[in-house]
Structure 1
Amino acid sequence: MKKFAALMLSAVCMISLAACGSEPKSDAAAGSSSSEASGAVTGMDDLPGKKIGVQTGTTGDIYATDYEGDEAGTVVERYNKGVDAVMSLKQGKIDCVIIDNEPAKVFVSENDDLKILDEPFAEEEYAICVDKSNSELKDKINQALTDLKADGTLDEIIGHWIGDSADQKSYESAADADHSNGTLVMATNAEFPPYESLDGENVVGIDADIARAIADKLGMDLRIDNMEFDSIIMAVTSGKADIGVAGMTVTEDRLENVDFTDTYAKAKQVIIVKK
């Protein structure tokens, strides 16, 4: 999908325009966002006492929170979109951004003044969240994932979006696909390329393709609802969505509210800094 690359270039280029960014969400972060960053970050050992940018509610946010309020005075600034955190980094308002590796590579590839540190911050795996009361759906999705792994569909989907041969080609349901079992509603946050982003009004990426392939296995159509990342779990628990698919890591805090399927991808958190 060639328009994806063009849209990502346009979106990331907007980082350099101060007028297009959003302010940090937390009061503490908002109070410090206008000051300069506190120093260079060359690895995890340098994080205490620094200003760290994250996307609200993500795994990066969870990890960064461990540093927040320490004796070194670490500040965590939270943004609705990862691209806004990167913008603040470019403007010198924060010292680094903690984010997943694949989105980080997109941002860095379009900004010559940024780099990803060689030292990974944390390893993680992605899974699909479902309501705790819907074990039947979880079991069906797990079986679908097993089948998609076995027949190579899962690897094929990921290969279209990650790697040297990535062509951003979306998964397409077979012309004779049976969708007579209703509609599977997926909640996501389309600010996380290449897992999910917007192509016009359509959500595209790895997670959208995997969800569509799962829906095909279940004999269902797929509807994707785009929302803030920290609203996804609430959408699932309230019944507004059947599943949450958004590069979501299984954590103890999240398990208090939702269940997770088997994992479908491995990833890592990384640190973006200015060169």
Structure 2
Amino acid sequence: MKKIIATVLTTILALSALAGCTQVTPNTVFSADDLPGKVIGVQLGTTGDIYASDYEAEGSVIERYNKGADAVQALKQGKVDCVIIDNEPAKAFVAKNKDLMILPDPFELEDYAMCIAKTNSELKNKINAAIAQLKIDGTLAAIISNYIGDDTKGKSPYVSGNSDYSNGKLIMATNAHFEPYEYMEGGVVVGIDVDLAQAVADILKMELVIEDMDFDAIIAAVQSGKADIGVAGMTVTEDRLINVDFTDSYTTATQVIIVRKK
């Protein structure tokens, strides 16, 4: 009998210890004003990483992850106090995690563009002309609305009608973990950036080839010539302009803060 009681007590203590280990600290971030001194999760090398780094001087600790999904998982586990990321991927993450929310006030506005080698100005000019054409004829707006907006999502998929690849291949470096800009679906990389790059390739009579890699490796791939362009929800920054050039912007995005609801 004593052995049974001892076993029961041991089990209860073990379960109590387990519960204590899995308890998550209540949310303490309610606006950007609360970021100093907090542990902030970001995707390595992204604009969120750049903005968050400004808070290190104010005592914040920046935890960097290769994937935005890993940063979000760390938030759920209480390893970070918040995550700074683009609004559209944030909405996708929150839709799948009902215990998380996006703070209502935008954190920062940013313009997305394709990065390209500084020595490849001819290709940059051609891509800029293609982007301008896609803006004028409404193709770009249709591509974006196909992925963003409850009333328009899935209603205007881009369909490539090009079979003329006489100008060779257009190799695109991306990181397919940034829905809706680029993500995996059925083993294929899809998203706004993919459709945009395909539309550009069609205009340039080139075959689009997609190389999926860590976000932090994209600029190096473009610099070295392993990729022609980097398209991955990438913002033009002074630091990045040291190493690569950028095309004209194709969309404006918003950085937001994800927190736990409780």
TM over 0.5: yes
CA displacement at 1:200 relative to structure 2: 2.9
CA displacement at 1:201 relative to structure 2: 2.7
CA displacement at 1:92 relative to structure 2: 1.0
Match of 1:230 among 216, 227, 245: 216
Aligned to 1:172: 159
What is the CA–CA distance in structure 2 between the aligned matches of 1:222 and 1:35, rounded to whole Å? 47
Equivalent position SS for 1:112: coil
CA displacement at 1:36 relative to structure 2: 6.8
Is 1:126–2:115 an aligned residue pair? Answer: no
Kept after mapping to 2: 8 A contact 1:35/1:93: no
Identity %: 64
What is the CA–CA distance in structure 2 between the aligned matches of 1:168 and 1:131, rounded to whole Å? 35
CA displacement at 1:169 relative to structure 2: 6.3
Runs of 4+ deviating beyond 6 Å: none
What is the CA–CA distance in structure 1 between the aligned matches of 2:168 and 2:39, rounded to whole Å? 47
Higher Cα radius of gyration: 2
What is the CA–CA distance in structure 2 between the aligned matches of 1:268 and 1:116, rounded to whole Å? 12
Equivalent position SS for 2:84: strand
Aligned to 1:220: 206
Kept after mapping to 1: 8 A contact 2:170/2:201: yes
CA displacement at 1:38 relative to structure 2: 8.7
Match of 2:28 among 40, 43, 54: 40
Kept after mapping to 2: 8 A contact 1:183/1:222: yes
Match of 2:172 among 163, 186, 192: 186
Kept after mapping to 1: 8 A contact 2:27/2:259: no
Aligned to 2:70: 84
Aligned to 1:271: 257
CA displacement at 1:172 relative to structure 2: 1.9
Kept after mapping to 2: 8 A contact 1:181/1:220: yes
Is 1:65–2:53 an aligned residue pair? Answer: yes
Q: How does 1:84-123 map to 2 (within 5 A)?
A: 84-123=70-109
Match of 1:251 among 223, 237, 242: 237
What is the CA–CA distance in structure 2 between the aligned matches of 1:213 and 1:186, rounded to whole Å? 13
Unaligned runs of 5+ in 2: 1-21
User: Once superposed, what is the RMSD of the aligned Cα atoms?
Assistant: 1.7
Aligned to 1:18: none
Aligned to 2:246: 260
TM-score, normalization by structure 2: 0.88
Aligned to 1:162: 148
Equivalent position SS for 2:160: coil
1:153-193 C-alpha deviation (Å, 9 max, x unpaired): 0001111100012018642211x542211110000000000
Equivalent position SS for 2:249: strand
What residue identity is the alignment partner of 2:44?
T
What residue identity is the alignment partner of 1:54?
V
Q: How does 1:138-157 map to 2 (within 5 A)?
A: 138-157=124-143
What is the CA–CA distance in structure 2 between the aligned matches of 1:37 and 1:254, rounded to whole Å? 36
Aligned positions, number? 239
Kept after mapping to 1: 8 A contact 2:29/2:35: yes
What residue identity is the alignment partner of 1:167?
G
Aligned to 2:183: 197
Equivalent position SS for 2:134: helix
What is the CA–CA distance in structure 2 between the aligned matches of 1:173 and 1:38, rounded to whole Å? 48
TM-score, normalization by structure 1: 0.84
Range that drifts further, 108-117 or 185-194: 108-117
Kept after mapping to 2: 8 A contact 1:67/1:74: yes
Kept after mapping to 1: 8 A contact 2:40/2:81: yes
